[in-house]
Every structure is written in C-alpha cells, then in structure tokens.
C-alpha cells in the first residue's frame, strides 16, 4: 500500500540539462506519489561509471511530504554533482513512498525498515502485501532485519537468480510459483543495472517513455505522470513522450543494449477457460450470441435478471425454453430494486411504451431507458461467473441499439474490459465478450439463422400479450430486420 516510482536510462544524457530535466521529473513523480504513502521515503540509484565500475547511492528518511521534497532536492543535486565530476550517471533509480499497514507498524523508522530493500545483489521497491512472506524467508533461509513483508521480494529474487539477469519468463515463473499476495514492484540487480524488472498483478503501474531523454520513468498512478509542473504539461503534447499503463498481471523487462531500449513482456495468467455465461433477455440478440458461442465450441450457461419489467413473464418463458433447447444451465437473479426502488423507466408502466413510443420513434431513442441496467447486470453476471467458474461473460449488446442506448455502444464493453482484472479475485479471470457488438439487427437475424439459433423461442416485445404487439420499438426493428435479411419471422404478431 505504497507508491513506487523510478527511472531506467537506456541511452546517454547528452548534457547536464537533460540529466537535470530527468531528475526534476522523477522528483515530481515521487512528490506526487506521497498521496499514496507518507510514513517513510526512500531512493536508491545504481549506475556504471565511465571506467566500468558500478556505483550505488541510497537515501532513506522518515518524515512528511515537506521533508520529502526538501530531501529529494538535495539528493538529486548530489547525484547531478557527482555525475558532472566523475561521469557516474545513474542507470536505474527506484523509489518508495510507504503507507505503513497496521499489521507491519514499526515505531522506529530506522533505515532497515524503509524501502527500497536490498538482499544480496538485488534491490526492490514494492507496493502491496506479500501474504506468504514467512514461508519465503523460511524456504530461502533468510531472515529480514525488519518485520516487513516486502523484504520477501528482494529475498526471493536473490535466492532464485543470484547475480544473474533472468529472462522475463523466468521472473514470471518465479512469481507464480513462489509469491502470494498483491504487488507492483521494480527490481534491479544493483551490480548489473542494465536491466530493470517491473511486475504487477492488480496493483497499478504506469510507464512514461521519453525518447528524447532516452529514459523510461515509472510511477504508480497515471495521474502522477501528468503532474502539475510546466515540463509535464508540455509532455502531454510531445510526440517523443508515450504514457502507458502496465497491463494487470504482467511482468516487464527493460533492457539497454548499445543505447537502444528493448521491452519484453510476459503475462502472469493463463487464458480464461472456454465456459461462457450469457446475459440472456430471451430476445434475438442474446440468443444469437448463445448460438455463436455454441458454434465456437464453448460451453455455455444463461443468466436472466428478473427486474420487474412488464414483459418479465414472457421473457422468463423464452429464457427457460432457450435453456432447454441448448441443454445448458440457467441462473435466475431477482433484482426487485429496479422496479420497487429505482424506477425511472416506462418499462415499469403498463402499456406506456405502446401508446406513446411506437415504430421508428420507439427504435431511435432510449425512451424506455432503465437507469444503469446493463452496468448492474454485467457486474452481477461477472460475480456469478467468478463464483461458478466461467471464464467469460457475454451479452447481446449490439451496434443497432447503440444508436439509442449508450450502454449498447461497443465502447462501453471495451472500457469495462479494462476494469475486469480489478473486479475479480487474484486467482480468477473473467473477460467480457460481445459477439454481436458490431452487428445491425438484420445481421443479427442472419447470424442467428446461420447458426441455427432458436429464434422461434425468442421474445422481443416490451409488452406481455399473447403475441408480440408489433408496434413497440423492438418489434419494429425485429420485423424490419427479418425483412431485410430476406427471412420469415417465426413468431406471431397481434396484428397478423
């Protein structure tokens, strides 16, 4: 529960101006990071001198963000002065702004209790909690000078790799086999600082690649990279600058070779399993989505939300029939709060959609909008998928209805995909699918027919009559879609 920051220099700073610019920016990152940790601060720099010798500089201090700012100014002035005199440019600098957990409170903040930590050849800065630290120390026969779990990372790096520089795949395998907990970390072999290793599971980390300075910076939050200094405001429009978040559950290896940067990645997790949970309304879109996934060879299940809309009885009948058709599990989730507490939609009012929003008018605007419905349904579906062992959650979100409903826009799912690693447990993986997300209604009909979806069992109407009303927006789109697809709609309409 800290903030970490640092830099990796893969080329030579051309002059003192570039060096000071890089150090000033790192200073801004570290000071910004005090937002996440104010109990102690530490910095470690490692580099190679002009004659090939390795040099190290460390500075650690307890105190306030004000003391941090003053201390950093002095520390980096010392780094710059030493570089000017001896050519000892830092290749790697790592920092930690510590937020001390109640489980690891240390009354006296001696150097041994302040990150970055060192074990043998390795130094690390870590944000998170290592839950199996005691097992790591026992297995490695190494006992830290302070009772802080982050020492387990430097310990396991030194125990596993010693003086060597491992591949990114070896680091991934070590983490998966030996480390339990949460982390974003930076690790460097102090005596061979031509590589920097970064790793995250669900803890955040952002990279700032400044090609002009031939330097990659890292910081915990993307917002820190866009700090308030003039230089970083200019950064936002500088084509030589690239800001990226490290994907969750990823190990990154930064390497310097002949003044060139090489970045290697390895994912910490296996792909999701082939089980798909489909949010099924009983309509064309989600039923076609189910058919597509069946054709892909995936194992499917359906989840339906009973939330009090007028068509609830007909939708339940349709979903039950579709589940029987595919011989797949069907899960029922009651969400009475929508109709009983939240309200705000004509779908909860008897015949309101039929009398006021028919045909084109009912198809082109979200008159029947239910507040945040898809967000709530997908969130609960993800929870169910995680609990029941499904690797994916899929829905009938589609391009046609994105014209009227913002939560049917593909961008909605793309954004939610980014959240998924942080929404499920560290040992789970659930991803979102939208197999008809880029389709119009007539294309959905065509796809459903091609994959032999049971379209005859579906219910699209907003009403609860014996037959589809043929007037509401969904019925208008359905009828026209079958016509455009050159097919006969297998359901009956009240006006036929």
Q: 278-288, pLDDT tens digit by residue?
A: 999 999 999 99
DSSP letters for 371-412: TTHHHHHHHHHHHHHHHHT-SEEE----TTGGGT-GGGSHHH
Asked if 211 and 240 count as a contact pair (C-beta separation under 8 A), the reply is yes
Q: Looking at 199, 232, 267, which one is the last position of a domain?
A: 267
Same domain as 258, residue 279 = no
Same domain as 281, residue 238 = no
Asked if 55 and 47 count as a contact pair (C-beta separation under 8 A), the reply is yes
Residue 126's SS3 state is: strand
Q: Looking at 241, 267, 293, which one is the last position of a domain?
A: 267
Same domain as 361, residue 302 = yes
Query: Does the pLDDT value for residue 364 go beyond 50?
Result: no
Q: pLDDT value at position 262?
A: 95
Q: pLDDT value at position 201?
A: 97
Q: pLDDT value at position 230?
A: 43
175-212 pLDDT tens trace: 999 999 999 999 999 999 999 999 999 999 999 999 99
Active-site amino acid positions: 2
Same domain as 338, residue 217 = no
49-106 pLDDT tens trace: 655 556 677 787 766 667 777 778 888 888 877 777 666 678 999 999 998 888 778 7
210-241 pLDDT tens trace: 999 999 999 999 989 886 554 445 555 677 88
Same domain as 183, residue 323 = no
Residues ≥6 apart with Cβ < 8 Å to 53 = none
Asked if 320 and 359 count as a contact pair (C-beta separation under 8 A), the reply is no
Q: Does 88 reside within a domain?
A: yes
DSSP letter for 338, please.
I
% residues pLDDT > 90 (the chain): 63
Angstrom distance (rounded) from CA 3 to CA 147: 19
Q: Does 73 reside within a domain?
A: yes
Q: Does 491 reside within a domain?
A: no
What mean pLDDT is predicted for residues 312-317?
A: 95
Q: pLDDT value at position 53?
A: 58
Query: Does the pLDDT value for residue 269 go beyond 50?
Result: yes
Same domain as 337, residue 229 = no
Structure tokens at 135: 């097992």
Residues ≥6 apart with Cβ < 8 Å to 337 = none
Same domain as 285, residue 245 = no
Nearest Cα residue to 203 out of 276, 143, 153: 153
Q: pLDDT value at position 78?
A: 80
384-437 pLDDT tens trace: 999 999 999 999 999 998 877 899 999 999 999 999 999 999 989 999 999 999
Residue 451 or residue 347, greater confidence: 451
- Whole-number mean pLDDT of the chain? 89
Asked if 357 and 367 count as a contact pair (C-beta separation under 8 A), the reply is yes
Q: Which domain holds residue 169?
A: 3-267
Query: Does the pLDDT value for residue 458 go beyond 70?
Result: yes
Residue 66 sits in a domain whose CATH number is 3.60.20.10
Structure tokens at 430: 């659930």
**What phi-psi label fits residue 297: left (phi over 0), alpha (psi between -120 and 50 degrees) or beta?**
left
Q: Does 492 reside within a domain?
A: no
| pTM more than 0.85 | yes
Min mean pLDDT across 243-257, 267-281, 355-369 is at 355-369
Are β-strands 250-257 and 195-200 bridged in parallel, bridged antiparallel, or unpaired?
Answer: antiparallel
Q: pLDDT value at position 227?
A: 66
Q: pLDDT grade, residue 358 (50/70/90)? A: low
Cβ atoms within 10 Å, residue 155: 26
What mean pLDDT is predicted for residues 327-336?
A: 96
What mean pLDDT is predicted for residues 145-159?
A: 94
Q: pLDDT grade, residue 363 (50/70/90)? A: very low
What's the total number of domains in the chain?
A: 2
Q: Does 196 reside within a domain?
A: yes
Q: In this structure, what are the phi and psi dihedrals at residue 191, rounded to the nearest 5 degrees? A: -100, -5
Question: Which residue reads 């954004």 in tokens?
Answer: 415
Angstrom distance (rounded) from CA 159 to CA 460: 62
Query: Does the pLDDT value for residue 107 go beyond 90?
Result: no
Q: pLDDT value at position 351?
A: 58
Residue 448 or residue 60, greater confidence: 448
What mean pLDDT is predicted for residues 311-328?
A: 97
Q: pLDDT value at position 235?
A: 57
């Amino acid at each position: 529960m800290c903030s970490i920051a640092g830099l990796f220099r893969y080329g030579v700073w051309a002059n003192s101006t570039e060096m000071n610019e890089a150090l000033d920016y790192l200073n801004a990152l570290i000071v910004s990071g005090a937002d996440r940790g104010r109990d102690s601060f530490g910095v470690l720099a490692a580099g190679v001198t002009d004659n090939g010798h390795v040099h190290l500089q460390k500075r650690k201090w307890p105190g306030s963000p004000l003391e941090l700012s003053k201390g950093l100014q002095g520390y980096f002035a010392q780094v710059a002065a030493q570089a000017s005199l001896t050519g000892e440019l830092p290749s790697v600098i790592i920092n930690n702004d510590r937020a001390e957990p109640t489980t690891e409170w240390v009354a006296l903040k001696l150097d041994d209790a302040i990150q970055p930590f060192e074990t043998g050849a390795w130094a690390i800065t870590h944000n998170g909690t290592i839950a199996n630290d005691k097992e790591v120390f026992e297995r490695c026969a190494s006992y830290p000078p302070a009772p802080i779990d982050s020492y387990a990372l430097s310990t396991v790096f030194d125990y596993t790799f010693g003086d060597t520089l491992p591949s990114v795949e070896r680091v991934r395998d070590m983490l998966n086999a030996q480390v339990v907990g949460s982390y974003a970390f930076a690790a460097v072999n102090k005596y061979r600082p031509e590589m920097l290793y970064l790793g995250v599971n669900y803890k955040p980390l952002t990279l700032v690649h400044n090609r002009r300075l031939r330097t990659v910076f890292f910081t915990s939050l993307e917002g820190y990279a866009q700090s308030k200094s003039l230089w970083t405001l200019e950064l936002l429009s500088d084509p030589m600058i690239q800001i990226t978040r490290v994907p969750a559950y990823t190990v990154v290896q930064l390497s310097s070779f002949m003044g060139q940067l090489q970045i290697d990645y390895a994912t910490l997790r296996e792909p999701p399993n082939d089980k798909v949970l489909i949010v099924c309304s009983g309509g064309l879109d989600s039923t076609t989505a189910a058919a597509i996934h069946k054709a892909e060879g995936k194992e499917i299940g359906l989840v339906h939300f009973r939330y009090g809309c007028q068509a609830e009885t007909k939708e339940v009948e349709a979903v039950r029939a579709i589940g029987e058709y595919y011989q797949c599990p069907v899960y029922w989730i009651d969400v009475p709060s929508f109709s009983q507490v939240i309200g705000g939609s004509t779908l909860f009012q008897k015949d309101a959609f039929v009398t006021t929003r028919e045909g084109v008018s009912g198809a082109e605007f979200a008159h029947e909008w239910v507040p945040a419905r898809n967000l709530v349904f997908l969130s609960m579906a993800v929870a169910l998928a995680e609990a029941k062992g499904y690797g994916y959650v899929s829905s009938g979100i589609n391009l046609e209805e994105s014209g009227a409903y913002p939560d049917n826009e593909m961008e909605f799912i793309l954004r939610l995909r980014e959240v998924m690693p942080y929404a499920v447990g560290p040992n789970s993986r659930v991803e979102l699918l939208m197999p008809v997300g880029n389709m119009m209604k007539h294309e959905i009909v065509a796809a459903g027919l091609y994959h032999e979806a049971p379209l005859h069992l579906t219910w699209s109407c907003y009403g609860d009559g014996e037959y589809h009303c043929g007037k509401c927006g969904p019925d208008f789109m359905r009828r026209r879609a079958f016509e455009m697809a050159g097919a006969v709609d297998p359901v009956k309409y009240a006006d036929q």
